[in-house]
């Protein structure tokens, strides 16, 4: 694992974001779609917290297979898609996210999203939230073989932005995001505004979206 970059030696040309719980307030509705799908498919009766504890393991098909204990097919994924579309219709950006992205655009930083969610789900949520045109690259969990904390998705996002990971930061709300950043050699920043517990460790912490802008300008 690469060491955390030294802020004094780092020039940040690009910012890559996690999606759920970082850019958009979806940490209840998206897991609820999984829970509803699992019940509809004859699986376990799970709570939102049950899903949240496990959904970092991969994209939709991996999560459904994990909880159902069997391979999933097109009908299973269609069942999820129907419930997911309905659930995320109310998704909105966290307060301050739009202003943060505006400021980063003025600072000419390249922007991307890397999420464990599938690319289809990520693009849908970004569109519902009105953020679909803000990012030059969107990498989903189905675009890579190894999920977070492996660096593959973050490295792919940086490649698509035309930067090396050491000149990027990765902003996320969970420990797995920060571990992913460190594995890639990017600067980890904890998005602490989504209501999840503070993640201990050697990384920067932003308590509101605009705080990231100031951290990167110092």
Name the CATH topology of 29-90: DNA polymerase; domain 1 (1.10.150)
Tokens standing for residue 201: 């460790």
Backbone angles phi, psi at 192, to 5 degrees: -95, 15
The helix/strand/coil state of 172 is strand
pTM higher than 0.85, yes or no? yes
Domain spans in the chain, listed from the N-terminal domain onward: 7-26+91-217, 29-90
On the question of pLDDT at 1 being above 70, the answer is no
At 22-80, the pLDDT tens digits run 999 998 898 899 999 999 999 989 998 899 888 888 899 999 999 999 999 999 999 99
At 184-212, the pLDDT tens digits run 999 999 999 987 777 888 899 999 999 99
User: What is the rounded distance in angstroms from the CA atom of residue 25 to the CA atom of residue 115?
Assistant: 14
Same fold: 7-26+91-217 with 29-90: no
Catalytic residues: 18
Nearest to 188 by CA among 196, 197, 179: 179
Per the CB < 8 A criterion, the answer to whether 93 and 102 are in contact is no
Per the CB < 8 A criterion, the answer to whether 11 and 109 are in contact is no
On the question of pLDDT at 2 being above 50, the answer is no
| Assigned CATH class of 7-26+91-217 | alpha beta
The helix/strand/coil state of 14 is strand
Please report, rounded to a whole number, the percentage of residues in the chain having pLDDT higher than 90. 83
Tokens standing for residue 150: 């492996």
DSSP string, 85-124: HHHGGG--BPTTHHHHHHHHHHTT-EEEEE-SS-HHHHHH
Q: How far apart are the first and last CA of the chain?
A: 26
Site of tokens 């930061």:
169
Look up residue 20 and give its DSSP letter. B
């Amino acid at each position: 694992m690469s060491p955390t970059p030294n802020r004094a030696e780092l020039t940040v040309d690009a910012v890559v974001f996690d999606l759920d719980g970082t850019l958009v307030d979806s940490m209840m509705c998206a897991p609820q779609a999984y829970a509803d799908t699992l019940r509809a498919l004859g699986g376990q009766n799970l709570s939102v917290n049950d899903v949240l504890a496990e959904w970092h393991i991969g994209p939709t098909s991996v999560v459904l297979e994990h909880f159902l204990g069997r391979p999933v097919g097109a009908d299973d994924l269609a069942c999820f898609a129907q419930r997911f579309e309905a659930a995320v219709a109310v998704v909105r950006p966290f307060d301050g996210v739009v202003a943060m992205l505006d400021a980063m655009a003025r600072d000419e930083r390249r922007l991307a999203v890397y999420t464990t969610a599938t690319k289809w789900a990520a693009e849908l949520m970004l569109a519902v939230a009105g953020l679909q045109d803000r990012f030059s690259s969107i990498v989903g969990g189905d675009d890579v073989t190894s999920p977070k904390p492996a660096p593959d998705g973050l490295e792919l996002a940086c490649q698509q932005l035309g930067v090396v990971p050491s000149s990027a930061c990765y902003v996320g709300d969970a420990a797995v995001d920060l571990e992913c950043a460190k594995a890639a050699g990017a600067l980890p920043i904890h998005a602490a505004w989504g209501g999840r517990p503070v993640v201990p460790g050697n990384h920067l912490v932003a308590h509101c979206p605009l705080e990231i802008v100031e951290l990167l300008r110092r």
